[in-house]
């Protein structure tokens, strides 16, 4: 009995907006790229995301988990002088910064306040934790269009 080979490419390419530039497209088309692997810079990623809005399903998932706020904040400008000063004042034994005003540390509550994230409740909703493997795979198929 001959089994037809599985197509290695995506079943739907609506969500894979970077696919045309990705190395895997060469593999799917039976070609290998001779170009060396190059990591994308964060600046390129933020510029791309600004020009290409997220799919509605992705936005809904990010909003449901509370992580959409981080995307809306966007790329942050890093103050390298401040980072260097904080590195010099870091005390690894106590995991704190030693500042002129006293010792300080960054807590989960600080992150929650700055980004508006939820820090209470369970990481996974009860209905997901009570699912069987088959139900979970069906849910993945429903959300992504592909059932592993």
Q: What is the pLDDT of residue 51?
A: 80
Query: Tens digits of per-residue pLDDT, 41-59?
Result: 656 677 777 787 888 888 8
Q: What is the pLDDT of residue 34?
A: 64
Q: What is the pLDDT of residue 71?
A: 78
Residue whose C-alpha is closest to residue 47's, from 66, 74, 20: 74
Query: Tens digits of per-residue pLDDT, 120-130?
Result: 766 666 777 78
Query: Tens digits of per-residue pLDDT, 1-45?
Result: 566 666 656 666 666 666 666 666 766 676 766 666 666 565 667
Task: Decide if pLDDT at 139 tops 80.
Answer: yes
Q: What is the pLDDT of residue 111?
A: 82
Phi, psi of 104 (to 5 degrees): -140, 150
Query: Tens digits of per-residue pLDDT, 61-111?
Result: 888 877 888 777 777 777 888 888 888 998 888 888 988 898 999 888 888
Question: What percentage of residues in the chain have a pLDDT greater than 70?
Answer: 66
Helices (runs of H) and strands (runs of E) counted in the chain? 8, 3
Q: What is the pLDDT of residue 141?
A: 82
Task: Decide if pLDDT at 119 tops 70.
Answer: no
Please list the residues that pair with 104 across neighbouring strands. Answer: 97
Q: Which residues contact 138 (CB under 8 A, 6 or more apart)?
A: 147
């Amino acid at each position: 009995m001959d089994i037809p080979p599985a197509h290695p490419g995506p079943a739907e390419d609506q969500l894979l907006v970077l696919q045309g530039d990705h190395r895997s497209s060469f593999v799917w088309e039976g070609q290998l790229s001779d170009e060396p692997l190059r990591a994308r810079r964060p600046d390129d990623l933020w510029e791309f995301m600004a020009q290409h809005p997220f799919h509605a399903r992705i936005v809904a998932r990010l909003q449901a988990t509370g992580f959409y706020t981080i995307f809306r904040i966007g790329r942050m400008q890093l103050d390298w002088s401040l980072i260097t000063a904080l590195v010099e004042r870091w005390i690894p034994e106590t995991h704190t910064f030693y500042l002129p005003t006293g010792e300080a540390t960054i807590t989960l509550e600080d992150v929650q306040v700055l980004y508006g994230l939820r820090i209470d409740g369970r990481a996974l909703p009860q209905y997901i934790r009570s699912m069987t493997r088959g139900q979970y795979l069906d849910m993945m198929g429903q959300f992504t269009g592909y059932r592993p």
